[in-house]
Amino acid sequence: MWNKDNIPDLTGKTAIVTGGNSGIGYEMAKNMALSGANVIIAGRDSVRIAEAAANINAEGGNGKVSSMVLNLDSLQQVKQFAGKFLRDYSQLDILINNAGVMMPPQSLTEDGYELQFGTNFLGHFVLVANLFDIITTTPQARVVTLSSGAYKWVRGIDYDNLRLEKPYDPMREYGTSKLAGLLFALHLQRKFIRIGSTARSYAAHPGIVRTALQRYLEPTVLNAYENVMEPWQGALPALYAAVSKDLGNEGYYGPDGDKELTGYPGPAFINDIAGDEGLAEELWHYASLQTGYHF
């Protein structure tokens, strides 16, 4: 049973957690900092991310937490965040692509994409593109992208509906964004292997956790589940993927309990669609053409 007590000494490591000011992201940032890492909490609200950093620093530990503004629904602001990070830091050992939105009212990003696809996937794609060189030159760096069991709600990526061309279905669009994140994470690892990099890319999902992510859902939705985890436990699969020394060259991790809803970190199910290299390459090509980032 892997838990936060298994996190190794991270002294000297630099980490970024997107959406690290609340929920499972906060727990990821806190536990890495308490284990010695220098952690950057990246989020869109400058006040909230600064407060989160101060609260974690007040708990002690050998690491230090700072904050930087990152608005994932603006690709230009993602580029600006990366530029500032590259000016201030010379290594990036851990990047956790955690921030996201879940079934919000119908809306578009600044660049005209459906909000969930644009924020959960495309913003993180551009973030990794801008940080690719520092990731691949930092020995044994890791990129962890948060997905969800919701990726199984869809049977592929509908490229004719990524800008709300069709009537909005919040569940379908959320599932699409999480399938895209999983396809991306697995394919990024293939890219690392092909170029001979020591970097590793993994995916993770938290299971059923009560956080602000569900703020757009009816309060009774989570009541349908017998056990709903607290954020500290939901953060464990991503932490496991980010720091465990026992992982192979690829993987997707989540809770090890029934239907991967609760429990402690273990391998998660990858269906044929998520594991399809051709579909992943198609998505990568689409994202590259849309954003102008070919990496």
Q: How far apart are CA 255 and CA 148, in angstroms?
A: 11
Q: How far apart are CA 44 and CA 191, in angstroms?
A: 29
Q: Is there a catalytic annotation at residue 159?
A: no
How many angstroms separate the first and last alpha carbons of the chain? 37
Q: How far apart are CA 136 and CA 140, in angstroms?
A: 8
The answer to whether residues 162 and 141 touch, using CB atoms and an 8 Å cutoff, is: no
**Tokens encoding 278:** 């051709």
Buried/exposed code over 217-236 (b: 16+ C-beta within 10 A; e: otherwise): eeeeeeeeeeebbebbbbbb
DSSP assignment letter at 108 = B
3-state secondary structure of 95: strand
**Of 113, 151, 174, 252, which residue is the catalytic one?**
174
Q: How far apart are CA 75 and CA 109, in angstroms?
A: 9
**At 51, which amino acid appears?**
E
Look at residues 273, 205, 202, 277 and name the one whose alpha carbon lies nearest to residue 243. Answer: 202
Q: How far apart are CA 216 and CA 227, in angstroms?
A: 20
- Catalytic annotation, residues: 174
